[in-house]
Amino acid sequence: MQDVKSNRNRVTRREWLKIGGAAGAVALLPACSRSEPEGRAQARRAGPPRQAPRNVILCVSDGMSSAVPSMAEPLAQLAMQRGTAWHKLMSDPKAAHGLLATASLNSMVTDSAAASSAWGSGSRVNNGTLNTLPDGTALTPIAALLQEAGKRVGLVTTDEICGGTPAGFAAQQPSRGDYDRIATQYLGRVDVLMGGGRDAFDPLARKDRRDLLNEFQTEGYAYCHTRGDVLAKPGADRLLGLFQPRKLPYSIDHREDKALRDHVPTLAEMTRAALASLQLGDRGFFLMVEAARVDHAAHHNDIAAMLWDQIAFDDAAAAALAFAADRDDTLVILTSDHGNANPGLNGMGPGYADSTACFERLLGFNASFGRIRDTLRRRADGAGDLVDATRSTISEFTGIDLPRDDAVLVGNAVVHGQFFDTLNRQHHNWNGVLGQVLGNHTGVQFTGVSHTNDHVLLSAAGPGAQDFAGLRHHTDVFPLLTGYAGVQHTNPTAETAAAAV
């Protein structure tokens, strides 16, 4: 932004933000505008009436940069001798494909709360807020509008259920971190809630000691807190599933821990349970399914954890597509809210001949970086040599034999918080060091440890799929979803709210 400001023809901050949002409109699609272009409206009136989807399933791989599904496909092939549902959908001539621009109101780089709020209200908001404009104006979230139209609403996530992405569809808060208040806004507004974050409902963990667990059950929600509960209660009219006090575990750790597998359902299992409940309504439903830990792994530069959670997301998307396959009334959308750290498989070795072998080393990874960190720190408390402890820990959890020089770097970063000099300050942290060192063996490296502003991939199948072809902004999704439900509602934007003063 400084380069733009230094130009002779200065661009104001408001103009700069408009440029970020208008990028998708340049030379590609009039569909990037927030309202439907007149030409398209005329075409609709002239042609045969199109069927609007009765049900919409929005599958969100949070923090998924564009290279992530292209790496998840070969990993699934290598590890399970099968491909991914998204890769197959990309080859389906009936499906539509596009991109979403992601800029928030106050930044070219969005956070999850602002991105979800753009979907959930049709208006841009500042990062860190949920459906709330800078002047305090509360926007009506889509869950409330759909409920008024008789639709049922479900939110499923591997994050805390009050996290930024699910909350953007149903809550209005100046701060995305106010989980206690967000949880109260779900009551009666959302029919199915499944994920982590039990602390926001538990009277022993809430600051106000309010017993939301009891209140939800009094209102008719079936409460699930184990995987067994989920499998035993198919088709409950309303569901509240909370399986951990905070976030659900990474899939790579879930796969390796029988206790976790027995207690915590997979994202696909939660998705199927949500669909069994939501389809009981007679006017259709909206379901959002989020693979949140793809984003968390990206922040850690943890490529193995990221790709296994992407595969878990793909399994959930496959469940959604299977549900829709025998129906003509269900739209399924696969996308992300923003990129994160932009991982990529580099060319390795002479003529890049070693890239495949490097990537295949990911098959030896069996723990998330968080588990590696915690284990190494425990072992470092003993009297043993830090380098030896580092090498044995990395070998145990990744199958990689680190050279001693690399083990010194990793051990000092993870245990002592001491980092080697790097020109990329984004990697000046323990996970950045670990990611770079292991990336020299896997071939996968990251640009940083934070969100990025690149457009995100989108694929859609079912009635209405073509509405999502081409380049759009997150805010363009809201009028489509409300339009399918027959809802006529326009939330104010920051510009219209300011003009009304």
Question: CA distances (Å), 327 to each of 66, 85, 235, in order?
Answer: 30, 18, 18
Is residue 234 classed exposed, middle or buried when 0-12, 13-18 and 19+ CB atoms within 10 A define those classes? exposed
Please give the pLDDT value at position 51.
86
Q: Which of 61, 65, 112, 459 is catalytic?
A: 112
Q: What band does 489 get if pLDDT is binned at 50, 70 and 90?
A: very high
Q: Which of 374-383, 384-393, 423-432 has the lowest mean pLDDT?
A: 374-383
What's the pLDDT tens digit per position in 163-221? 999 999 999 999 999 999 999 999 999 999 999 999 999 999 999 999 999 999 999 99
Residues 392-406, buried b or exposed e (16+ Cβ, 10 A)? bbbeebbebebeeeb
In this structure, the number of other CB atoms found within 10 A of the CB of residue 75 comes to 20
Are the C-beta atoms of residues 109 and 101 closer than 8 Å to each other? no
Please give the pLDDT value at position 499.
77
Mean pLDDT, residues 214-230 = 96
Is residue 497 classed exposed, middle or buried when 0-12, 13-18 and 19+ CB atoms within 10 A define those classes? middle
pLDDT above 90 (res 136): yes
Q: What band does 249 get if pLDDT is binned at 50, 70 and 90?
A: very high
Please give the pLDDT value at position 301.
98
pLDDT above 80 (res 419): yes
**First vs last Cα of the chain: how many Å apart?**
29
Please give the pLDDT value at position 404.
96
Q: What band does 501 get if pLDDT is binned at 50, 70 and 90?
A: low
Please give the pLDDT value at position 21.
40
Please give the pLDDT value at position 284.
97
Question: CA distances (Å), 230 to each of 223, 255, 279, in order?
Answer: 9, 18, 16
Q: What band does 495 get if pLDDT is binned at 50, 70 and 90?
A: confident
**Helix (H), strand (E) counts: the chain:** 23, 14
Are the C-beta atoms of residues 200 and 183 closer than 8 Å to each other? yes
pLDDT above 80 (res 129): yes
β strands within 210-281, DSSP E:
222-224, 239-242
Q: Which domains does the chain have, with CATH numbers?
A: 52-343+455-499 (3.40.720.10), 346-445 (no CATH)
Has 112 been annotated as catalytic?
yes
Q: What band does 383 get if pLDDT is binned at 50, 70 and 90?
A: low
Please give the pLDDT value at position 226.
97
Task: Region of 342 please: left (phi>0), alpha (psi -120 to 50) or beta.
Answer: left
Are the C-beta atoms of residues 105 and 125 closer than 8 Å to each other? yes
Alpha-carbon Rg of the chain, whole angstroms?
A: 23
Q: Which of 9-13, 154-158, 441-445 has the lowest mean pLDDT?
A: 9-13
Please give the pLDDT value at position 28.
34
Percent of the chain residues topping a pLDDT of 90: 85
pLDDT above 80 (res 376): yes
Please give the pLDDT value at position 48.
45
What's the pLDDT tens digit per position in 330-365? 999 999 999 999 999 999 999 999 999 999 999 999
Mean pLDDT of the chain: 90
In this structure, the number of other CB atoms found within 10 A of the CB of residue 47 comes to 8
Q: What band does 49 get if pLDDT is binned at 50, 70 and 90?
A: low
Please give the pLDDT value at position 45.
35
Please give the pLDDT value at position 483.
97
What's the pLDDT tens digit per position in 421-437? 778 999 999 999 999 99
Q: Which of 22-31, 93-102, 151-160 has the lowest mean pLDDT?
A: 22-31
